[in-house]
Amino acid sequence: MQQFEFSDISRMLTPILARHGGDASRLLQVLLEVQDACHTIPSEAIDHIAAHFDVPRVNVEGVAGFYSFLSTRPVGEYRMLFSGNITDQMLGKDDLMQYLCNKLWVEPGKVSEDGLVSVDSTSCTGMCDQGPAALVNGWPLTSLDQNRLDLICELIRSRKPVAEWPPMLFEVVDNIRRSDALLGEPLVPGNGIRAVLTRGAKETLAEMDKSNLRGRGGAGFKTASKWSFCHAAIAEEEGSVICDINGHPERYIVCNADEGEPGTFKDRVLLNSYADLVFEGMTVGARVVGASKGFLYLRGEYRYLLEPLEKGLQKRREAGLLGDNILGKAGFSFDIEIHLGAGAYICGEESALIESLEGKRGRPRNRPPFPVTHGYKGRPTVVDNVETFACAAKIAEKGGAWFAAMGTAQSTGTKLLSISGDCASPGIYEYPFGVTVRQILADCGARDPYAVQVSGPSGAMISWKEFDRKIAFEDLPTAGAFMVFQRKRDPFQIALNFVHFFAHESCGFCTPCRVGTELQKKIMDKIASGHGTASDLEELKSLGHILKTMSHCGLGSSAANPVLDMLEKFPDAYERKLKELAFEPAFDLDGALETARKITGRDDDWAHL
Amino acid sequence: MSKNIIIDGLTVPFQEGQTIMDAAMAAGLYIPHLCHNPEFKPHGSCKLCTVNVNGRNVASCTMPAAEGQQVLNDIAELNAERLALTQMLFVEGNHLCPACEKSGNCNLQGVAYYLGMMSPHYNHFYPAREVDASHPDILLDRNRCIYCELCVRASRDVDGKNVFGLTDRGIMTRLIVNATSGLLGDTSLAATDKAAQVCPTGALLVKRKGFAVPIGSRIFDRHTIKDVQTGGSHE
Ligand SMILES: Cc1cc2nc3c(=O)[nH]c(=O)nc-3n(C[C@H](O)[C@H](O)[C@H](O)COP(=O)(O)O)c2cc1C
Ligand code: SF4
Ligand code: SF4
Ligand code: FES
Ligand code: FES
C-alpha cells in the first residue's frame, strides 16, 4: 500500500489549499481534491488541512468520514463504483460487477493487493436510462456490458490514465423523449432577466405568485411564498444585522442539484443542455429576494458536468448576465459558485445541503429556524430545485398567467419525469401536470407493466390497479422518478434494494433512523434468505411507524415507504417467502459452530446441532 | 401577561425563547430525554423527548414553545415509541450493564426503567467498537456510546478544547477524539473538564472512582429518573 511522507503531503496540499483560500466552507472541496490525488485522505493531510483552516482535527476527520466518495483508508488507484439502483440491478449490475471482480482478481468492497483497483457499489448515479452504470474515479461509465468491461480491464491493467480512456465509454445522452413548455422552446439568455428589470422585482414576485409554481424537489412548497419569506427575513448574527452595500441583509440563492433520489435524472439533463435556463432562474430569484451570491450544489456523481457548467457561467459573465451591474442595471450584482457534493443522499435535504455548503457533515438542522430566515452562514437563504429555477426563468419571461394555464389548478405547469425500468424508451418526458400513469406507460412503451415507483424509494409504489391515477401534487406528487416494473419482477426485491439504500444513506444523527433503517434492512435480509416469519412482518410495520413518526428529517420518515407499500399492495411478494413457523431465529446456531468445527477438524454428529 | 402552553391538560407558562422542554422542566414536568441536558445547547438527536404538538410529533428539546400549543407528553402511544427508541439504543451498542461502572447511575438505564423496558426486544447488533484506555485518568468505552454529543458540546462550548467529534455516518457513526493517533491519551482532555463529566452513559468514565457507591444504592436504584430530573439534579 502507498505510504505518504509528510513532505509529499505538504507538497501536494500547498497548491490545493492556496487555490481554495482560508474559508472553512471550502473544506469539502479541498478533501475531494486530496482524495483524487491520493486515493484516500491521509491522516497527515487531515492535520495539515485542520491547521490551514484553523478548525479542530475532529471536524476535518468528521467530514472525511461522512461522505461516501471520501475515504480515510486507501481505495484503488482505479476505483470502480457500480450504480446500485434497482434499475441497474435489473439490467444485470450484480453479474457484471462480479464479472469484473473475477477478471481483476479483486473482491467486491476490497482493494486489490497491489492497490491498483477497487470495485464496489454506490447509490444510484443518475444514469438509469442508460445503465448499467458505474463511476471510475468519479467519471460516469454508461451502458456497461461484458465487452465494455473487458476493455476497461485492459485499460486498468495497462494503467492508462482515466483521462485517456476512449470517450465512447463516458458517453452520456440526454434521451429527451417528450418536450413541452420547459424543454420545447429555448430561452434566449437574458430575456428572463430583462423582463424582470422592465417589470420590477415586486411585480415579478406577483407573477410568480400568480403562476402558482410549486417546488419541483418533492415537497411542493409554493415558490413565491418561499421567496417572499426570504425577502422579508432579517438575518441576525450576534445581535447585529449583516447588510450588503445597499443596506439589505445578505441573502443567498441556492440551487439544489443533489438529485440523489434513486431513479431521478432530469436535473442531469437540465444542467447538461439547459444550464442557461437554470442560471437565469437563479438570477431572477436573486433579483426578487435581493441576493448577491448564489450556489449550485452539484452532486458528486455529476462531477463530469463541473467544467461545462463553469464555462457556461463564464459565458454569462462575459455577456453581462452575471457579475456586477447585470445588464447595465446599476447595483444589480449576482454571481454563482459551484460546490461539489461527495456521495451523500442526505445532502439533498435543504438544511443538510447548507451544512455541506459550509464544509461540514451533511446533517439536517433543527427547524425552526428554517433556511429562509437562517440558512447559509445564518443568513436568509432560498433553496430550490434545479427544475424550479428553470420554471421561474420561463415565468419571468412569459408571465404567471401563461404558466398557470397549464396543468391542474393545484399543480400548475409541467413536470419533467425521469423514466426508467421496463420500457422501450427510457428517458426524459415532460408532461403538463394531471397526466395519468396509464398514458405515460403507453408513451414510454412499458412492457406488461405491473408496478411503478413514483418519486423514487421515498415516494410511492403503485400497483397496476392504480394506473388511472394522475401525476399531480393532489394525487401522485413526484420529484421526477418514474421506474417501471413488469410482471415478472419481484416487488420484494425492489423493496429490499430500497431498504439497503436508506440504511446506507441515513446520516446517523437521530436514533429512529440510524437504528431503525438498519433494523429494517436486517429483517428484510432475513426474509430474503428464507428465514422470515409472520412476526417479522409485524415488526416491519411497527418499525415503519416509528420511522415515520419519530425521525428528524424526511429521509427517516420516508424510509419505510417501500416496505409499507409492498406489505399493503403486493402481499404475494412476501407471503411465499415466509416460513410456516411463527418464530424463526435470526441467528443460525449451527452455522455459528462452523468456525469451531474447522479449528477442531471435527464434523461428526456431536459437532452439529 | 405571561404566555402559556398546555401539556397533558396542564397550563404551563413559558418565556420567549424557551423550548417546550425548558417550559416543562421549569414546571416540574418530566419529558423523557437522553441527549438533552439543560446546561448545553439543545441537540435533538435521541428523539426520546418527542411530544405531540397540535397533532404533529416534534422533539420538545428543540421546539420553541409558542402560544396555542396543545402538547401531549405522558401518553401510552408516545411512551411505547420512546421505549422502542431506548431498546434501539441498547441493541445498537454493547451494554453489559452488570459489568459497567455506571450501572445504577446511567441515564440510559434510568429511562429504560422508567419506560418499563423488560427486554431489548430487537436482536443485538453486537458491533465491534473500540475501547480506549490510553488516557491516564479517563476511560472511553465506545461500546456504550449513544451519540448524544454531550461530550462534544461540553468540550467545544465549555472547555474550549474540541476533544470530541463524530465521524462516518448512519449505523457506522463513531465517536472520535482530537489526536492524530486517534487516542484519548494524546488529547488535552483533563478529568476535571466538563466533557469528562457529562456522559449520560458509561462511555466516558473517570478512572479510579470505581464502585464508590455500591450497586443497589445508586441513583436509579433508589429513585426514578423522573424524580431525579425534575428535582433539578442532573447527573
Ligand atoms: C432526504 C432528502 C433528500 C432530498 N433530496 C433532494 C434533491 O436531491 N433535490 C431537491 O431538489 N430536493 C431534495 N429534497 C427536498 C429539499 O429538502 C427541498 O425541499 C427542496 O430542495 C426545495 O426546493 P423546491 O421548493 O424547489 O422543491 C430532499 C429532501 C430530503 C428529506
Ligand atoms: S432521519 Fe435519518 S437522515 Fe434524517 S436526521 Fe435522522 S438519521 Fe439523519
Ligand atoms: S461518549 Fe457519552 S457523552 Fe459522548 S457522545 Fe457518547 S454517550 Fe454521548
Ligand atoms: S432529548 Fe430531545 S432529542 Fe434527545
Ligand atoms: S449501564 Fe448504561 S452504559 Fe453502562
Best CA proximity match to A71, nearest among A162, A147, A18, A137: A137
Q: What is the mean pLDDT of residues A284-309?
A: 97
Smallest CA–CA separation between A513 and chain B, in Å?
Answer: 8
Chain B's closest residue to A543, CA to CA, is: B84
Residue type, position B15, single letter:
Q
* DSSP letter (8 states) at residue A144: -
CA-based radius of gyration for chain A? 25
Q: Could you say which of 1.10.357.10, 1.10.8.60, 3.40.50.300, 3.10.20.740 is the CATH number of the domain covering B3-73?
A: 3.10.20.740
Q: Which residue has the higher pLDDT, A447 or A20?
A: A20
Superfamily for the A177-404 domain: NADH-ubiquinone oxidoreductase 51kDa subunit (3.40.50.11540)
Task: State whether residue A344 sits within 8 Å of chain B by CB.
Answer: yes
Residue from A355, A364, A255, A301 nearest A25 by CA: A355
- Report B:94-133 residues touching A (Cβ under 8 A): 122-123, 125
Domain residue limits, chain B: 3-73, 81-209
A492 CA distance to ligand 3 middle (Å)? 38
For B83-116, the pLDDT digits (tens) are 999 999 999 999 999 999 999 999 999 999 999 9
Is B86 near ligand 5, meaning CB less than 6 Å away? no
| Nearest CA distance, A239 vs chain B (angstrom) | 15
Which option is the CATH number for B81-209: 3.30.70.20, 3.30.930.10, 3.40.50.920, 1.10.1740.10? 3.30.70.20
Task: Compute φ and ψ for A451, nearest 5 degrees.
Answer: -150, 155
On average, the pLDDT of chain B sits at: 95
Cα–Cα distances in angstroms (integers) from residue A299 to residues A88, A304, A341, A505, B17, in the given order = 19, 10, 5, 14, 37
Chain A interface, mutation test: which of B20, B35, B36, B47, most A Cβ atoms within 10 Å? B47
Give pairs for A35-38: CB < 8 Å, separation 24+: A35/A69, A35/A70, A35/A71, A35/A342, A36/A137, A36/A138, A37/A12, A38/A2, A38/A4, A38/A12, A38/A74
Query: Which set of grid coordinates corresponds to residue A194?
Result: 430583462
Is it the case that residue A598 has pLDDT exceeding 90? no
Q: Answer whether B91 touches A (CB < 8 Å).
A: yes
From CA A433, how far away is CA A273, in angstroms rounded? Answer: 22
Ligand 3, atom 2, residue with closest C-alpha: B199
Phi, psi of B178 (to 5 degrees): -85, 70
* Residue A242 pLDDT exceeds 60: no
**pLDDT score, position B231:** 78
Neighbours of B1 (CB within 10 A): 3
* Of B42, B46, B171, Cβ closest to residue A503: B171
Instruction: Annotate B109-144 with three-state secondary structure.
Output: HHHHHHCCCCCCCCCCCCCCCCEECCCCCEEEEHHH
C-alpha cell at A552: 428528524
The answer to whether residue A421 scores a pLDDT higher than 80 is yes
Q: Do B167 and A506 touch (CB under 8 A)?
A: no
User: Of the candidates A511, A515, A407, A505, which has an alpha carbon nearest to the alpha carbon of residue A458?
Assistant: A505
Asked if B170 lies within 8 A of A522 by C-beta distance, the reply is: no
DSSP string, A215-275: -TTSS--BHHHHHHHHHH---EETTEE-B-TTSPBP-EEEEEE---STT--HHHHHHHH-H
**Minimum distance, in Å, between the CA of residue B224 and any CA atom of chain A:** 23
pLDDT in tens, A548-596: 999 999 999 999 999 999 999 998 888 878 876 556 666 677 777 888 8
Chain B residue with CA closest to A363: the answer is B169
The 10s digit of each residue's pLDDT in A517-552 is 999 999 999 999 999 998 999 999 999 999 999 999
Whether pLDDT at A7 is above 90: no
Q: Is the pLDDT of residue A2 over 90?
A: no
Q: Return the domain boundaries, chain A.
A: 6-66, 78-170, 177-404, 414-489, 496-575
Task: Give the ligand 1 atom nearest the CA of A386.
Answer: 11
Give first-to-last CA distance, chain B, whole Å.
35
pLDDT at A520: 98
Nearest CA to ligand 2 atom 8: A507
| DSSP codes, B62-94 | TSBP-TT-EEE-S-HHHHHHHHHHHHHHHHHS-
- Interval A123-137 mean pLDDT: 98
On the question of pLDDT at A234 being above 90, the answer is: no
pLDDT on residue A4? 61
Res A3: pLDDT: 57
- Please report the pLDDT score of residue A338 as a whole number: 98
Q: How many CB atoms lie within 10 A of CB A208?
A: 26
Ligand 4: residue of B22, B34, B53 to mutate (most ligand atoms within 8 A of CB) is: B34
β-bridge partners, A414: A432
- Which distant-in-sequence residues (6+ apart) come within 8 Å of B1 by Cβ? none
Q: Which residues pair with B175 in a beta bridge?
A: B166
SS (H, E, C) A187-219: CCCCHHHHHHHHHCHHHHHHHHHHHCCECCCCC
Q: Cβ(B92) to ligand 3 under 6 A?
A: no
Chain A contact set for B44 (CB, 8 A): 366, 510, 552
Going from the C-alpha of A460 to that of each of A449, A560, B189, the distances in angstroms are 16, 11, 49
Instruction: Report the C-alpha gap between A202 and A364 in whole angstroms.
Output: 32
Q: Closest CB to B171: pick one of A58, A510, A515.
A: A515
Q: How far is B213 from chain A (nearest CA, A)?
A: 31
A295-299 average pLDDT score: 98
Higher pLDDT, A244 or A323: A323
Is A342 touching B (CB cutoff 8 A)? Answer: no
> What average pLDDT does the segment B180-208 reach?
97
Average the pLDDT over A222-227 and give the result: 97
Nearest to B92 among A59, A61, A515 (CB): A515
**Gap between the Cα atoms of A81 and A501, Å rounded:** 15
| Contacts across the A-B interface (CB distance below 8 Å) | 118
Contact B88 A512 (CB under 8 A): yes
pLDDT-wise least confident of A117-126, A179-188, A596-605, B201-210: A596-605
**Probe residue for ligand 5, chosen from B92, B144, B147 as the CB with the greatest number of ligand atoms within 8 Å:** B144
Phi/psi region, residue A453 (left: phi>0; alpha: psi -120 to 50; beta: rest), is beta
Flag whether pLDDT at A300 surpasses 70. yes
Ligand 3 pocket, B51 CB below 6 A?
no
- Answer whether A58 touches B (CB < 8 Å): yes
B165:A586 CB<8 A: no
CB-nearest to B57 from A514, A517, A549 is: A549
Architecture (CATH level 2) of domain A496-575: Up-down Bundle (1.20)
Ligand at shortest distance from the CA of A553 = 2
- Which residues are paired to A281 by β-bridges? none
Same fold, B3-73 and B81-209: no
Check pLDDT > 80 for residue A342: yes
More confident residue, A495 or B235: A495
Look at residue A583 and give its three-state secondary structure: coil
* Amino acid residing at B203: A
* Contacts B147 to A, Cβ<8 Å: 508-509, 514
What percent of chain B has a predicted confidence (pLDDT) above 70? Answer: 98
Confidence of residue B235 (pLDDT cuts 50, 70, 90): very low
Of A520, A550, A552, give the one whose Cα is nearest residue A536. A520
pLDDT digits (tens, 9 = 90+) for A310-329: 999 999 999 999 999 999 99
Which positions in chain A touch B167 (Cβ < 8 Å)?
58, 61-62, 64-66
The pLDDT of residue A332: 95
Please tell me the CATH code under which domain A414-489 is placed: 3.10.20.600
| Residue at A74: amino acid letter | P
Question: Ligand 5 mean position to B143 CA, how many Å?
Answer: 9
Q: Given this model, what pLDDT does residue A583 score?
A: 60
Identity (one letter) of the amino acid at A169?
A: L
Domain A78-170 part of CATH 3.50.50.60: no
Paired strand residues for B177 = B164
Write the pLDDT tens digit of every residue in A49-69: 999 999 999 999 999 999 999
DSSP A47: H
Q: Return the residue matching grid coordinates 411465499.
A: A576
Q: What's the pLDDT tens digit per position in A14-29?
A: 999 999 999 999 999 9
Contacts of A501 in chain B (CB under 8 A): none
Integer distance in angstroms from the first to the last C-alpha of chain A? 43
Q: Does position A245 have pLDDT exceeding 50, yes or no?
A: no
pLDDT of residue A581: 54
